[in-house]
């Protein structure tokens, strides 16, 4: 099976300090890959490097056979990599519908946009109900749905989710897992999921990576990685 994404030995510096070093990671076409790790491990930095938000000082990021290092965020979005950032970054004073429309800013295929909107309203009926409501007045769970939905409106081939479960109740996290699966299975979108909630991450993922202090420390299938020392210590109390 071919990889839609191949990250090879990338390093990112913030000033003189190394945030991540020699990070390598693959996402096979059509799969869900997860990256877990404690606070400050470098998960968001890895996603930001992939999205062209922070510069890479070394290494290569290959997406569908094409090098991304040096390309702008806009070019990267056009190629099909969409990041739903940590903290959601919605426009709180704009309506749900307007936030969704803004996700499709770079698109011109009107029919495709309408189809994606219908898919989103099917997947998240609450967003349809509340489409005229200001985004800032939604519940935390609804805001996370909207952030993901806005990502889908950009028509991703690879959807990158940065800690979508943050601050959500267990029952909402459970629904979130089902939505992530639906997006992957019915839309064929490959997914790179960054999470600290290992139950969500390992519940949906086909393959897992674990990061610690700027480095990749373990990788494998769900069963295999959850028994590694690094992951046991960090998440399951040793």
Tell whether residue 197 is a contact of ligand ATP (CB under 6 A).
Answer: no
Residue 214 CB, shortest distance to ligand ATP, in Å, is: 7
Q: Give, as ranges, the residues between 113 and 152 that touch ligand ATP (CB under 6 A).
A: none
> Toward Mg ion, which CB reaches closer, 155 or 165?
165
Closest CA relative to residue 124, chosen from 158, 164, 89: 164
Q: Give, as ranges, the residues between 12 and 41 that touch ligand ATP (CB under 6 A).
A: 14, 19, 37, 39-41
Which residues in 38-151 belong to E strands, given as ranges?
58-63, 66-67, 81-84
CB-CB contact of 84 with 151 (8 Å): yes
CB-CB contact of 82 with 148 (8 Å): no
Q: Which does 108 bind (CB under 5 to 8 A by kind): Mg ion, ligand ATP, none?
A: none
Residue 77 CB, shortest distance to ligand ATP, in Å, is: 20
> Toward ligand ATP, which CB reaches closer, 57 or 105?
57
Tell whether residue 44 is a contact of Mg ion (CB under 5 A).
Answer: yes
Q: What number of residues does the chain have? A: 238
Tell whether residue 174 is a contact of ligand ATP (CB under 6 A).
Answer: no
* Residues of this chain that bind Mg ion (CB under 5 A): 44, 86
């Amino acid at each position: 099976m071919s990889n839609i994404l191949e990250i090879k030995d990338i390093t990112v510096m913030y000033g003189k300090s190394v945030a991540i070093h020699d990070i390598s990671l693959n996402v096979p076409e059509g799969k869900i890959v997860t990256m877990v790790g404690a606070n400050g491990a470098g998960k968001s930095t890895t996603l930001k490097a992939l999205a062209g938000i922070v510069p890479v000082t070394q290494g290569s990021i290959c997406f569908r056979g094409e090098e991304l290092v040096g390309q702008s965020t806009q070019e990267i979005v056009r190629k099909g990599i969409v990041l739903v950032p940590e903290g959601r970054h919605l426009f709180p004073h704009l309506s749900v519908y307007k936030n969704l429309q803004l996700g499709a800013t770079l698109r011109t295929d009107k029919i495709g946009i309408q189809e994606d909107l219908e898919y989103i309203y099917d997947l998240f009926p609450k967003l349809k109900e509340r489409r005229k409501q200001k985004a800032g007045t939604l519940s935390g769970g609804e805001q996370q749905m909207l952030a993901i939905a806005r990502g889908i409106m950009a028509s991703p081939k690879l959807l990158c989710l940065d800690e979508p479960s943050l601050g959500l109740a267990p029952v909402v996290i459970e629904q979130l897992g089902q939505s992530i699966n639906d997006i992957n299975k019915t839309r064929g979108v490959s997914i790179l999921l960054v999470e600290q909630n290992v139950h969500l991450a390992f519940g949906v993922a086909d393959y897992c990576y674990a990061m610690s202090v700027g480095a990749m420390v373990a990788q494998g299938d769900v069963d295999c990685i959850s028994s590694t020392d690094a992951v046991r210590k960090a998440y399951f109390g040793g």
